[in-house]
Structure 1
Amino acid sequence: MNSNLITNFRDIGGYRANDGEIEKGFFFRSGQLNNLDDEQVSFLKDECKLKTIYDFRSQSEVDKDEDTPISGVEYQHLDILASLQDGGAASLEGMFSDLNNIDSAMYKTYEEMVISESAQNGYHKFMQDLIEVKKPVIFHCFAGKDRTGWAAYLILKVAGVSDEDIFKDYLKTNELRKAANEQIISQAKDKLNDQQLAGLESALTVKAEYLNYAIKTMNDKFGSFENYLVEGLNLAEDYKDKFIELYIEK
């Protein structure tokens, strides 16, 4: 499987969990899936056996760069950050509008991914679908790092993966987006000053502090991850048991 075909693509299966290992071939994450060529479409459809695409971007992001349709693959649009204009600092447009204060904008974005109604509704739909039908899915946003990163956190945490491995997967984005980020920065060099370029470079990466802030926000508001699943995402109390039964290889 050539994971270099699509920016920030990876299968988050294979991690050790409390009761075994997450099955490979079911949970793929990536950056946006626009302008895919025939080889990329074939990779997702024939090699990954993809059944559903979950797009976490804002409506304006989707309108600007629609996902490439793939025959036989369902498309679900879940606007996770509808509470923020155009997806906040998680979108490329939002990044450019917050370059002088990017850390503050990113913390606000991660807070909204936990507490906003749009995020809770979107992640509820996504997580509930996973236990309704067992099938290969891919989930993404613009860069595949923030909205997608929290979705990956939810899957790995429910499965019982260690915090060390969860953060390892989260930070892998910085390696896998390196070429794409360099291209975006290169195209923006003539339009931005040095401070703004530094802000853009920071905005295009992930930091452990961002994910830690989302986790702290979750714990402060709900008391625990388990309470967040039930009270924040409106999932059944036995959700974890159902998920583990479906996706954990003993």
Structure 2
Amino acid sequence: MLIKSVTALILLAVGTTTAQAAPVSCPRTIPFTTASVTQHEGGSFALNWTAPGVRRVSVYTGATQDGIDYSHPVARGEGSAAITVSGLGAADRRWFRLVPDRGEGLTVADRDLHLASVPNLRDAGGYRTADGHWVRMGAVYRSSNLGGATESDLATLTRLGVRVIEDLRTDAELVKTPDRVPRGATVTQQNVLGAGIPGPLPKTPEQSVRYMIDAEAYLVSAPSALVAYRGTLGAMTGTGVLQHCSAGKDRTGWASAVLLTALGVPRATVYQDYLDSNTYLAARNAAILAQAPADQREVIRPQLDSRAEYLDNGFAEADKRYGSFTGYLDQGLHLDTAALRAALLI
């Protein structure tokens, strides 16, 4: 049956250095409590930030993270501002350095890499932790599979420094949709699902929701998942790491939730990052539903969605199995969180 094949497919988805001296600001603490960049069509960029106690922020930019041009600012704003910058040169990814009149500056970019052939591709960084640090951008990425990546987009990933691919898919998925790999990158399979999630495929919308909730717990407790996530998260102490599954929302979503939580990102932000897959995959999901039999679309829909109740059960399973999320990190994954924080926090 078509629904069975479509359902099976979906469930598998279950410091800068510069040529010029940078402006000096002291003390060396980052005063920004929020900061974001959004690239718009036509090449303009919307920048938003909040820095309590800061009177003025100067904005510098560069075509690479290590190539910020400090010779002149492209914009200035107050301690809390929303501005638009346009007329900048072409770049694979445009970076901005926010330099306050007090405290340390912060380098940010649009989290979305805007590569159409790789849906749900985004930076895992750019989030503030509860203790005032920021997750470094340009170090770890997440995405859907790379099977449909164009030569142009692969070349962009190479220039952006993607050197390590952590593929969370099963053997069958790798055979059906092999990755197209950026030049010079190495690939490690981390088979989260092992032989697969046990149980029959759902036949009703309610069964689909239940399946996805239970599947999230499987990502926490299955022996194959513990081994896979230990390897994937351990690799993130390096740079240029891209982790993905099929759609980049379930297995990849849990890996990102674990990473951000281990780094100290607030739970609400972790959930928003998880739910953002609904936006990044909206076009893909609409196409899948349009091709499905009309009487099966509501059965399929929960499997396409990222829902808070799914992630809820992942965290609940960690608490149930290990007493706390910290217990899951220490006893389940044997994760060196100190090394992760040292590598990824600024």
- Normalised by the size of structure 1, how large is the TM-score? 0.87
Deviation of the 1:22 alpha carbon: 0.5
Q: Confirm or deny that 1:14 pairs with 2:126.
A: yes
Note if contact 1:52-1:137 (Cα within 8 Å) is conserved in structure 2. yes
**Stretch of structure 1 that moved more, 28-37 or 99-108:** 99-108
Deviation of the 1:84 alpha carbon: 1.9
Deviation of the 1:181 alpha carbon: 0.8
> 1:83-122: CA deviations, max 9, x gaps?
425xx79xxxx9xx43422112112211110001000000
> 1:183-194 counterparts in 2 under 5 A?
183-188=287-292, 192-194=293-295
The structure where helix makes up a greater share of residues is 1
> 1:5-154 counterparts in 2 under 5 A?
5=116, 6-17=118-129, 18-46=131-159, 48-84=160-196, 97-100=201-204, 101-131=207-237, 134-154=238-258
Q: Confirm or deny that 1:242 pairs with 2:342.
A: no
Structure 1's consecutive aligned runs of 4 or more residues displaced over 3 angstroms after TM superposition are none
Partner Cα separation in structure 1 for residue 343 and residue 119 of structure 2: 28
> 1:16-61: CA deviations, max 9, x gaps?
0124101000111111110211111012111x21011111111111
> 1:167-178 counterparts in 2 under 5 A?
167-178=271-282
Highest RCO, 1 vs 2 (Cα 8 Å, sep ≥ 6): 1
Note if contact 2:227-2:333 (Cα within 8 Å) is conserved in structure 1. yes
Deviation of the 1:4 alpha carbon: 4.2
Note if contact 1:29-1:148 (Cα within 8 Å) is conserved in structure 2. yes
Partner Cα separation in structure 2 for residue 23 and residue 99 of structure 1: 43
Partner Cα separation in structure 2 for residue 40 and residue 23 of structure 1: 23
Partner Cα separation in structure 2 for residue 240 and residue 75 of structure 1: 23
Note if contact 2:146-2:181 (Cα within 8 Å) is conserved in structure 1. no
Partner Cα separation in structure 2 for residue 98 and residue 36 of structure 1: 31
Which residue pairs with 2:309 in the alignment? 209
SS in 2 for 1:234: coil
Deviation of the 1:184 alpha carbon: 1.5
Q: Confirm or deny that 1:197 pairs with 2:297.
A: yes
| Residue identity opposite 1:3 in structure 2 | H
Partner Cα separation in structure 1 for residue 223 and residue 143 of structure 2: 24
Percent pairwise identity? 28
Partner Cα separation in structure 1 for residue 136 and residue 176 of structure 2: 34
Which residue pairs with 1:3 in the alignment? 114
Note if contact 1:19-1:248 (Cα within 8 Å) is conserved in structure 2. no
Partner Cα separation in structure 2 for residue 43 and residue 181 of structure 1: 25
**Structure 1: unaligned runs, 5 residues or longer:** none
Bigger Rg, which one: 2
The structure where strand makes up a greater share of residues is 2
Deviation of the 1:124 alpha carbon: 0.7
Tell me which of 222, 244, 268 is aligned to 1:164.
268
Partner Cα separation in structure 1 for residue 152 and residue 275 of structure 2: 27
SS in 2 for 1:217: helix
**Cα root mean square deviation, aligned:** 1.7
- Normalised by the size of structure 2, how large is the TM-score? 0.64
Partner Cα separation in structure 1 for residue 132 and residue 325 of structure 2: 18
SS in 2 for 1:16: coil
SS in 2 for 1:3: coil
Partner Cα separation in structure 2 for residue 204 and residue 30 of structure 1: 15
Note if contact 1:55-1:141 (Cα within 8 Å) is conserved in structure 2. yes
